[in-house]
Amino acid sequence: MSSPPLSLFLVRHGQTEWSLSGRHTGSTDIPLTNDGEDEARALQPYLARIHFDYVFTSPMQRAKQTCALAGLGNHAETEPDLSEWDYGDYEGRTSAEIYKTRPGWLVFADGCPGGELPAQVQTRTDRLLTRLAAMRGNVALFSHGQISLVMAALWIGLPVLAGQHFLLGTASLNILSVNPAHPNIRVVSLWNATPTFLAGRS
């Protein structure tokens, strides 16, 4: 029997102090808040129903914590390309603070001084998606906000800039897959399903 087609279960990490305050968090390795831990645990009943052929997590502890509390930590491999956008000089700053010196700044268009440019983020995300596309079955990916938006955009053939049109809550579950009737067409099967939303479907 052949393996099922590829489905990417993309999970943003739970709440941190910086995600709560809107501070851009790339390389700063901060933990989940207590509420963030609760969010991650709330994913476990839903994810427990699914057989995952692969589990990958960003190297950052907030992603690894979310993976473990969601019940998949024992099966996870660290994947550096799931790391968040490198914010460089904008690390730890809010968008409102950045606008004071750079009005109209948008990470998907402008990138970050001292950090990653959109083209660099696209290169590593394309590299990751190419590897994932060679797999079959269900793949869990524990990652971050902006890089997940880029991944979704590129998955369906849109540019990095299109990431601005997606919203992504903490500890949200998202599924990138293919159209069953047209396996060559990539789709977004589920988006921004928070633990509260998932609990209502159980």
Any catalytic annotation for residue 13? yes
pLDDT in tens, 81-95: 999 999 999 999 999
pLDDT in tens, 36-84: 999 999 999 999 999 999 999 999 999 999 999 999 999 999 999 999 9
- 173 CA to centre of own chain: 9
- Distance of alpha carbon 13 from alpha carbon 91, whole angstroms: 18
pLDDT in tens, 108-155: 999 999 999 999 999 999 999 999 999 999 999 999 999 999 999 999
> What is the value of pTM for the model shown?
0.95
**Res 3: pLDDT:** 66
Selecting among 39, 79, 84, 116, the annotated active-site residue is 84
Yes or no: say if 13 and 144 are a contact pair by the CB < 8 Å rule. yes
pLDDT of 1 above 60: no
CATH (residue range 7-13+40-201)? 3.40.50.1240
Domain assignments of the chain as residue spans, ordered by start = 7-13+40-201
Query: Cβ neighbours of residue 117 under 8 Å, at least 6 residues apart?
Result: 111
Task: Give the tokens for residue 56.
Answer: 């990958």
Yes or no: say if 174 and 11 are a contact pair by the CB < 8 Å rule. yes
Any catalytic annotation for residue 182? no
Helix (H) or strand (E) holding 173: strand 173-179
Within 13 Å and on the Cβ side, how many CA atoms surround 110? 16
Cα–Cα distances in angstroms (integers) from residue 51 to residues 1, 46, 54, 75, in the given order: 16, 11, 9, 11
Selecting among 13, 24, 39, 116, the annotated active-site residue is 13
Q: Compute the mean pLDDT over every residue in the chain, rounded to the nearest whole number.
A: 95
Planar angle of CA 74, 54, 143, nearest 5 degrees:
80
